[in-house]
Structure 1
Amino acid sequence: MDRPTNSPAVPAVSAEAGRRSRRLVPPLLALAATLAYGMLGSQQFHRLVARSWDLGIFTQLARAYGELRAPIVPIKGDDVNLLGDHFHPLLVMLAPVWWVWPSGEALLWTQALLFGLSAIPLTRLAIDRLGPGLGSLAGGAYVFSFGLQSAASVQFHEIAVAVPLLALSLTALLRGRALGAVLWAAPLVFVKEDLGLTVALLGVLIALRHREHPRHRRGGWVLAGWGAGWFVLSTFVILPLLNTAGQYDYTDNLGSPLEVFWPPVKWLTVLMLLLVAGLIGGRSPLIALMLPTLAWRFTGTVEFYWDWYWHYNAVLMPIALAAMLDALGDRRTGHATAWWRRDAPLPVRRIRVTAVAASAAVTLLLGPAMPVLDVLRPAQWEPTWRAEPAAAALGAVPDGSVLAVDITLMAQAVPDHDVQWVHGPNQRVPDCVLIDRYAFSWGDGPPQDLQSWAQQQWGAEYQKEFESGGFTVVCRP
C-alpha cells in the first residue's frame, strides 16, 4: 500500500540503508562506468575503429595545449585555430592529460572518467529522494543511458566536460543550493558556444524557483545574463574572429524552422529523451533545459543531429534525470515540483517505480545495439590482424614529418607527426602520405596508384615506402 504523502520520517533501518547506499553505490557506479567506457575506448583504439575524424582533431588540440601552444589543428586546415571552429577554451584542461599520456587513447579515458564522475552527485540525490533501491536503479540507468553510451562509442568530444558540470549544477539546484548551481553552471559557456543558451535558461529557472529569496533570484538573473552574453560574444564575435574564413562555420547547417518537426526520427529522439526522464520528468520545469540543444539540432540540416545514437544527447542525460527527480519529489518532505506549482503532492509509489523503470527500460530495450556491451564480448578483444601492419605503416614515416593521412590512423599518427587530412584544404606539401584502403572516408574508393595520385595532388615526387594490410605509405625522396 502506498505511504501517504504526509507520512512521518523515514524509519531508522531504512535511513541506515539509505546512508550506506549513498556512500557506496555512487562511487561504485562511477567506477563501473569509467572502466566500461574507458575499456570500450581502448578496444576501439587498438582495433583501429575510427568513427570520424574528431578523435584525431581533439588529439591534435590536446598536443597543442600540452606543448603550450595555441590550438592550431592542421587536420582542419593550415593555421586553423580550433577555437574558431567551436568555442571550448575549457579543453585547456587536456594539457596535463597530454603530459602524462600523450595519446588519443588518453582522451577516451578522460571522457570515460568525466561520464563516470557525473553519476556521483546525481545518484546520491536519487538515493536521498527515492530511497536506496529506486535511487540506485535511477543512477545506474543514468550512467549507462543511451546518450552517454552513444557519446562514448563515437569517441571524444568537448561535451564530455559539460556532463559533470551539468550534473553538479542541477544537483545543487535540487538540493536548494542556488549559489552552487550558479557556480557549477557558469563554466559551461566555455565548453561549447550553444551551451550559453542552456546556461541562460537555467539562470531564468533559478530566478523563478527562488523568486522569494532576493539574493538567489539575483544570482539566477546574473547567470541568465552571463549565459546569453557569452552565447552572443562567442558565436558572433570570437568564433568569426578566430576563424580562418572570418565566419561562424555552422550557420549554413541551419534550415527552416518549419522543418523542426520533420522527419519523424526527431519525434523518436524526443520520445526516448522523455523516457529517460521517466515521462513524469515532463512535469518539471527543468525539462525545458533540453530545448536550446534540441532547437539547433532539429533546425539543422545534418541528419546526425536528429538521431539518438551520436554524441549530441550526452548533455541531455543529466537534465533528464534531474527533471525526473524533481517531478518525483522527495520522500523526506512529501513534495514534488510541477510546471504549475513548486509543492505538488508526492506521486504514489507505483508511479515512482514506473518512472524509474521506464528510464532504465529505454536503454535495456535497445539491447545488443548498446556499444558498451562490446566490452563483454571476447571476440571484440581479439587483436585485429591489421594491428601489426598499422604499426609498421606508422613506423615507416619519419618522426616529425608532415603526414597526410586518412581517417583510420589519424589519431594514432598525431603524437609523432605533423598530421593533416589527406582530403583537406592544406597548402603544405606533405613529406609522406599514408592511406588505408578500407577507410570509409574514401567514398568511391582509394587510389590504385598512391604514388601517381599524390604527385597529382601536390606536384611532388613520391616513392613507396610500405604496403601491407591495406595500408600504403609513400614519401618524398
Structure 2
Amino acid sequence: MSSPRLLSCLLFAAYSALSVNRHRQMRSTGYDLGIFEQAVRSYAHLRPPIADLKGPGFNLLGDHFHPILVLAAPFYRMFPSPVTLLVLQAALLALSAVPVTRLAIDFCGHRAGVCLGLAYGLSWGIQQAVVFDFHEIAFAVPLLARSVELLARRRWSAAAGWALPLLLVKEDQAFIVAAIGVYIFRQGHRRLGALVTAAAVAVGALAVLVIIPAFNPHHSYPYDKTAGSISSLPVPVTKEETILALLAPTLFFALRSPLVLLAVPSLLARFWTSNPMLWGSRFHYNAVLMPIIFIAFADGLARMRASGRVAALRGARVAPILALIIAMCVPQPLWRVLDPASWRVPEQVRAAEALLRIIPDEADVAAANRIAPQLTGRCRVFRFLSEPTPQFRPEWVATTGAPYEQSMIADLPSLGYSVVARAAGITIYRRTRTVLRDSGRLRRGAG
C-alpha cells in the first residue's frame, strides 16, 4: 500500500474513533447530526429530504442546496444509524489526504511529503469538522483536494472536472469553483476558465434565488448578510486571528503559491456576514480551506526548491517537518482517542439511553438538542423549544432541564403533558387527555 493510502487509512480510523465515541457519550447534537440524519433517512426511503428538527415537514433543500446528500442514502439504507453518517464523513475527510500527500511527495520528496500530508490530516480545520457532528461539506473536501492537486500539476481540464461537482455540495461552494475558473483563465486557458466561472455563477445564483426559496416556507434565502446572526454568543476569535490560524501551520510558505488565492472568495463571503460564528476557527467552516492551504504549501515549497538557492533548499526540506511538529504540539480533539478514560461511557449516559427506550419506535417526539440524535434513527423528532405548541403537540417530549429550556418546560402541563420518567438529567413527558385552556377557550387534548 502506498504511503498516501496508508496515511488515509490511519486518519480514517482516528477520525471515526473520535466522532463515533463522541456520539456514544451523547455529545452529538440535533443541530446538526440529527437534521442531516433525518434528511438522509428520507432520501434512503425515496422521499424528499424532510428534516422535522427544522420545523414540521421542513424540506432541507429550503435551507441549503446540497443534493449530493443523496449519495449517503444507500449507505444509510444498509446501516440505518447516525453512526453511518459519522463514519462516512470520516472516510471522506481521510480520503482527502491522498491527493494532498501524493502531491507533497512528488513536489517535496517522500519524507517531507509524508510529514506534510500528516500535518494536513492533523490540521485544526479538519479536526474541528470531525468533532462537530456531520455536515454535507465533508463531500467537498476530497473533491477540492483532488481539483487543487490537478491545478498544481497544470492539468486544467481534469481540475475543472473535479471542481464542478462542488456545486452540488452547497451553494457557497460556488465561490471556490468560480475562483478555480478564474485561476484557469489566468493561466491562459480562457475558454475553459470562463466556462467554469460561468457555471459557478449560474448554479450559485439559481440555488440562492430560485431553488432554495422554492422549498423554503418563507420563499426566501434564509442566509443573507444578517440572517442567522448569533450576537448573544461570544466571538471565539477575530477575522485576523482566523487568517493567522490558517496560514501559521504552513509557516506561511503557502503564501509563496498563487493557489492560496483560491481561499480568498470563500473567506470574504464568511467575513461579510454578521454572524460571528462564521468568522472563527470552530466548527466545520474551515475544512474546505485546508486542502487549498496545504497544497499551496507544497507548491510554495516546490517553487523554493526550483530557485536553486541553498537556503531555499534547506527551508523546503525542513518546513514540512516543522509543520508536523506544530500540528502535533497544538492541543486538538484527536488526542482524546489516546486517553483510555475517554473511551468509557459514563453510567449517566447508559441510564439516559435506558430511559429513552421508553419512547417507542416511530413516535413523534419533541427533543432537546443533545437528545435528538439519539432518537432520529427511529422516531420522528422535532426541536424542543420550537415544539410543542397549542397547534402542534407531539405525543412525547424529552428535555434535559437546561436553563434555557425552563420557560418551555413550565408550559408543558398547560399543553397537556405530564412526567412519565426522570433519570440521568433527562425528563420524559407524554401528552395526556386533559382539558386545556387556549386563548380563553377550553380544548380537549387529543389522545
Q: How far apart in 1 are the matches of 2:228 and 2:310?
A: 42
Q: Which residue is equivalent to 1:178?
A: 156
State which of 53, 56, 61 in structure 1 corresponds to 2:34. Answer: 56
The SS at the match of 1:70 is: coil
Which of the numbers 393, 396, 399 marks the counterpart of 1:429? Answer: 393
Structure 2: how far apart are the matches of 1:103 and 1:263?
A: 32
Which one of 40, 53, 59 corresponds to residue 75 of structure 1?
53
Task: Give the 3 Å change call, closer, same or farther, for CA 277–241 of structure 1 in structure 2.
Answer: farther
Q: How many residues align?
A: 425
Q: CA deviation at 1:322?
A: 1.4
**d(CA) in 1 for partners of 2:267 and 2:318?**
26
> Quick one: structure 1 residues 347 and 125, their matched pair in 2 at CA, closer, same or farther if it must change by over 3 Å?
farther
Aligned residue for 2:186, secondary structure, equals helix
Match of 1:389 in 2: 351
| Deviation of the 1:463 alpha carbon | 3.2
Once the two structures are superposed, the pairs formed by residues 436-451 of structure 1 within 5 Å of their partners are: 436-437=400-401, 442-444=402-404, 446=406, 450=409
Once the two structures are TM-superposed, the CA of residue 347 in structure 1 deviates from its matched residue by 7.6
Alpha carbons of 1:363 and 1:382: their partners in 2 closer, same or farther (altered >3 Å)?
same
1:373 equivalenced with 2:335 (yes/no): yes
2:375 alignment counterpart? 413
Question: Taking structure 1 as reference, are residues 263 and 75 closer, same or farther at Cα in structure 2, changes over 3 Å only?
Answer: closer
Moved more, 124-133 or 171-180: 171-180
**Counterpart Cα distance in 2 of 1:255 and 1:303:** 10
* SS of equivalent residue, structure 1 residue 348: helix
Letter in 2 for 1:382: R
Equivalent runs, 1:114-263 vs 2, <5 Å: 114-209=92-187, 211=188, 216-253=189-226
Contact 2:104 2:117 in 1 (8 A): yes
Residue 294 and residue 358 in structure 1: after superposition, are their counterparts in 2 closer, same or farther (change >3 A)? farther
Tell me which amino acid in the other structure corresponds to 1:406: A
- C-alpha displacement at 1:444, in angstroms? 3.8
Q: Match of 2:264, as an amino acid?
A: L
Aligned 8 A contact 2:387 2:393 in 1? no
Q: Deviations over 1:168-195 (max 9, x none)?
A: 1111222222111011000101111111
What is the alpha-carbon distance in structure 1 between the residues aligned to residue 373 and residue 381 of structure 2? Answer: 9
Aligned-pair distance for 1:319? 0.3
Deviations 1:18-47 (A, max 9, x none): xxxxx5211111111111110111111111
Cα deviations across residues 389-409 of structure 1 (Å, max 9, x unaligned)?
A: 222222111211110000112
Would the aligned equivalents of 1:48 and 1:387 in 2 still touch at CA under 8 Å? Answer: yes
- 1:319 pairs with one of 273, 289, 292: 292
| Alignment match of 2:252 (pick from 279, 299, 305) | 279
Cα separation, 2, equivalents of 1:234 and 1:158: 16
- Counterpart-to-counterpart distance in 2, 1:98 and 1:404: 23
Mark the runs of 5 or more structure 2 residues left unpaired by the alignment.
230-234, 433-447
Q: CA RMSD, aligned part only?
A: 2.4
2:22 match: 44
Deviating more after overlay: 230-239 vs 424-433: 424-433
Structure 2 CA distance for partners of 1:434 and 1:305, relative to 1, 3 Å: same
Cα distance between partner residues in 2 of 1:52 and 1:320 = 31
Q: Does 1:463 align with 2:418?
A: yes
What is the letter of the counterpart of residue 333 of structure 2? P
TM-score, normalising length: structure 1: 0.84
Q: How many angstroms apart in 2 are the aligned matches of 1:61 and 1:263? A: 30
Q: What is the deviation of 1:138? A: 0.4
Q: CA deviation at 1:351?
A: 2.2
- Runs of 4+ more than 4 Å apart: 344-347
1:46-76 deviation digits (Å, cap 9, x = unpaired) = 1111356201111111111111110111100
Asked if structure 2 preserves the Cα contact closer than 8 Å seen for 1:275 and 1:358, the reply is: no
The residue number in structure 1 matching 2:83 is 105
* Secondary structure of 1:75's aligned partner: helix
2:366 alignment counterpart: 404
Which of 320, 341, 346 in structure 2 is aligned with 1:356?
320
Task: In structure 2, give the amino acid aligned to 1:220.
Answer: G
**Aligned with 1:467: secondary structure?**
strand
Tell me the CA shift for residue 361 of structure 1. 4.6
Is the aligned partner of 1:454 residue 2:412?
yes
In structure 2, distance between residues paired with 1:467 and 1:360? 48
SS in 2 for 1:433: strand
Q: Determine the C-alpha separation between the residues in 1 that align with 2:109 and 2:137.
A: 30
Note if contact 2:29-2:372 (Cα within 8 Å) is conserved in structure 1: no
| Alpha carbons of structure 1 residues 244 and 394: separation in structure 2 relative to 1, 3 Å | same
Q: Secondary structure at the match of 1:464?
A: strand
Q: Which sits farther off after the overlay, 417-426 or 57-66?
A: 417-426
CA shift at 1:94, angstroms? Answer: 1.2
Whether contact under 8 Å (1:167, 1:318) holds in the other structure is yes
1:235-257 Cα offsets, whole Å, 9 max, x none, are 1221111111111111153799x
Is the CA contact 2:29–2:133 (under 8 Å) kept in the aligned structure 1? yes
Aligned position for 1:305: 278
Deviations 1:418-462 (A, max 9, x none): 10001126753101001123xxxx444546x95x63233xx3x23
Shift of 1:465: 2.2
The C-alpha deviation readout for 1:88-111, integer Å capped at 9, x for no partner, is 111111101211211111111111
Offset from partner CA, 1:255-307 (integer Å, 9 cap, x none):
99xxxxx9972111101111234412113221111112211221222222122
Q: Percent identity?
A: 36
**2:372 is matched by which residue type in structure 1?**
M
**More off after superposition, 345-354 vs 370-379:** 345-354
In 1, the alpha carbon distance for the partners of 2:144 and 2:293 equals: 11
Asked whether the 8 Å contact 1:40–1:153 carries over to 2, the reply is yes
Counterparts of 1:107 and 1:189, CA distance in 2? 21
Aligned residue for 2:392, secondary structure, equals coil
Bigger mean CA offset, 46-55 vs 220-229: 46-55
One-letter amino acid of the counterpart of residue 388, structure 1: R
CA contact (8 A) 1:278 1:354 kept: no
Q: Quick one: which amino acid aligns to residue 119 of structure 1?
A: A
Classify the secondary structure of the residue corresponding to 1:35: helix
8 Å CA contact 1:78, 1:425 repeated in 2: no
